[in-house]
Amino acid sequence: MKNKHRLLVRQLKKFCPNGEEIPEEWRRLFEAINAAYEASDEDRRLMEKSMDISSREMFQVNQDLRQKEAALREALLRLQQTQQQLIQSEKLASIGQLAAGVAHEINNPLSFVSANVQVLERYLEDFGRIFAYLDKNRHVDTADAESAAGYIQELNKLQDEIDIDGITRDLGELLEETRDGLERVKRIVHDLRTFAREDKGERETVRLDKVIDRALSIASNEVKYRAEVVKDYAADLPPVRCSEQRLGQVFVNLIVNAAQAMADRGTIAIRTYLDEDRVCAEVADTGQGISQGDLLRIFDPFFTTKPVGMGTGLGLSVCHEIIKNYEGDITVTSEVNKGTTFLVKLPAGEET
């Protein structure tokens, strides 16, 4: 008999009168109770053992999950860093392709600024002659009629040679042209720096028309010899929440692609509008168009229809990723020999 059963019987004997034995019926009942208790106790021990094993297994599973989560976070971080590097590399590749045009755009205003400075230097020399003459003759006795007449005659002769009236009229125009040229260079450099600088894609409140205008400024040399630009910007268009640099990269790419699609001089039409809660921008060209087969692959990495050396094949793929990261859409429609239209849609932001 089990120890627990003996203890139970010993306790019950205390209630039996005159030391009588416990009746056999009771004894069998106690044995059944004890057996049930022992079975229950065994189940308890098995349950505890099972729970202990389960706890250890659960701990190990949690450890594995934490390790896998850490590995996934690290992989995601590396992927995000790689994506940023890819976007920056494609941006720099675009700058490389546009470098000659940008240099030309800077050189043009600098050329006439340089020419204007040369003219201003000549005018300064002429004024220097007048000032030198005035200084030399500052002690002339104007009360002496003969001396005064000679002084005035010589001064008039000098004025006729120099054409003071013409210089005076020309100075304002020269200075205005010079100022405009320097402002043009300043604007191009600013737009290029804004476009080129590395950023992490952080969101800011951005005006779409300003982004497009800066993209046009950067790509102006690619465009002006190939197409006329027609702009139709919606009034009071809400801003969008994007990175200005990355959104600018999208439109530089679309505008350059549109210009390079022109076999003959054509038109690039840029339109912005609001479609419910989406700010939209269309870039449409009258170029050669894209075949239906190529349209299916147009956003694939490394796919390009341009000649070797004219592109990396990453431009539109990167554009697609940039717009998608800002919960937007970019789509394209095209017809061969008629033209192509890219449509960018972005969630409307709030005024700040």
Tell me what the mean pLDDT of segment 241-250 comes to.
88
Q: Which two tokens stand for residue 181?
A: 């040229």
Dihedral, CA of residue 49, residue 55, residue 60 and residue 62, to nearest 10: 160
How much is the pLDDT for 111?
A: 81
User: Are 287 and 307 contacting, i.e. CB atoms less than 8 angstroms apart?
Assistant: no
User: Are 103 and 222 contacting, i.e. CB atoms less than 8 angstroms apart?
Assistant: no
User: Are 73 and 66 contacting, i.e. CB atoms less than 8 angstroms apart?
Assistant: no
Element (H or E) spanning 95, and its range? helix 24-136
Q: How far apart are CA 140 and CA 138, in angstroms?
A: 6
- The number of angstroms, rounded, from the C-alpha of 91 to the middle of its chain's C-alpha atoms is 10
* pLDDT band of 267, cuts 50, 70, 90: very high
Tell me what the mean pLDDT of segment 309-335 comes to.
81
Q: How far apart are CA 259 and CA 97, in angstroms?
A: 13
- Going by the DSSP 8-state scheme, the letter that residue 346 receives in this structure is E
Position 63, amino acid = Q
Which residues sit opposite 230 in a β-bridge?
A: 269
How much is the pLDDT for 294?
A: 87
Average pLDDT, the chain: 77
* pLDDT band of 240, cuts 50, 70, 90: very high
Tell me what the mean pLDDT of segment 133-154 comes to.
67
Express each pLDDT in 54-72 by its tens digit: 666 666 767 777 888 777 7
Task: Mean pLDDT check: name the lowest of 213-222, 263-272, 306-315.
Answer: 306-315
Express each pLDDT in 107-128 by its tens digit: 777 887 888 888 888 888 888 8
* pLDDT band of 312, cuts 50, 70, 90: low
* pLDDT band of 280, cuts 50, 70, 90: very high
**231 contacts: CB under 8 Å, gap ≥ 6:** 212, 270, 271
Task: Mean pLDDT check: name the lowest of 96-100, 146-150, 267-271, 306-310.
Answer: 306-310
Q: How far apart are CA 86 and CA 229, in angstroms?
A: 30
> Which has more confidence, 26 or 129?
129
85-89, 198-202, 298-302: range with highest mean pLDDT: 298-302
Task: Mean pLDDT check: name the lowest of 73-77, 331-335, 344-348.
Answer: 73-77
Mode of pairing for the β-strands spanning 266-275 and 227-232: parallel
Element (H or E) spanning 307, and its range? none
How much is the pLDDT for 2?
A: 47
> Which has more confidence, 179 or 21?
179
User: What is the pTM for the complete model shown?
Assistant: 0.56
How much is the pLDDT for 278?
A: 94
Cβ-based neighbour number of residue 320 at 10 Å: 20
> Which has more confidence, 140 or 223?
223
* pLDDT band of 341, cuts 50, 70, 90: very high
How much is the pLDDT for 131?
A: 78
Element (H or E) spanning 160, and its range? helix 145-162
7 pLDDT higher than 80: no
- What does 173-236 look like in DSSP terms, one character per residue? HHHHHHHHHHHHHHHHHHHHHHHHS------EEE-HHHHHHHHHHHTHHHHHTTEEEEEEPPTT
How much is the pLDDT for 151?
A: 66
User: Taking Cα atoms as reference points, which of 303, 300, 305 lies closest to residue 289?
Assistant: 305
User: Taking Cα atoms as reference points, which of 38, 39, 37, 34 lies closest to residue 5?
Assistant: 34
User: Are 97 and 155 contacting, i.e. CB atoms less than 8 angstroms apart?
Assistant: no
> Which has more confidence, 154 or 295?
295
Q: How far apart are CA 228 and CA 258, in angstroms?
A: 11
Position 163, amino acid = D
* pLDDT band of 84, cuts 50, 70, 90: low
* pLDDT band of 76, cuts 50, 70, 90: confident
Query: 12 by DSSP, 3-state: which?
Result: helix
How much is the pLDDT for 31?
A: 67
333 pLDDT higher than 80: yes
Query: 261 by DSSP, 3-state: which?
Result: coil
